[in-house]
Amino acid sequence: MLERVALLVFMVFITDKEQVRKARMLPAQSEVQVDTPEVRVTQWRLAPGSATGHHTHGMDYVIVPVTAGEMTIVAPNGERSKAQLGVGKSYFRKAGVEHDVLNETATEIVFLEVELKP
């Protein structure tokens, strides 16, 4: 009987590992710096162990890294990938991107998000 209980506890731990990881992540900090009819510029600061939270981009956007670093991107299906940031190495994405952005490194990640309003 004790073996079954231990197996059940182990199985629950394995299946709930993603929920435990999410519960430990801190919220990323954001500050809107510019908001005009044409664009919105937001500074994002991801401390080690923080995440933006799952979201869908409603507008085309440009990311401008302020610090170098590595972000973990989590797709809606749970697939994880790494994104390397280089200071000033901007990139563009179309509206509709859906993901969570995590900082699983030991250093803060800072970037500007420039959303292009229709």
Q: List per-residue pLDDT tens for the chain, 118 residues long.
A: 545 444 444 444 444 445 545 557 999 999 999 999 999 999 999 999 999 999 999 999 999 999 999 999 999 999 999 999 999 999 999 999 999 999 999 999 999 999 999 9
The enclosing domain of 39 has a CATH number of: 2.60.120.10
> Residue 108 domain-assigned?
yes
Residue 7 confidence (pLDDT): 41
- Owning domain of residue 71: 26-116
CA angle (108 as vertex; 117, 20 as ends), nearest 5: 90
Let me know if 14 is exposed, middle or buried by CB neighbors in 10 A (0-12, 13-18, 19+): exposed
- Residue 59 domain flag: yes
**Residue count (the chain):** 118
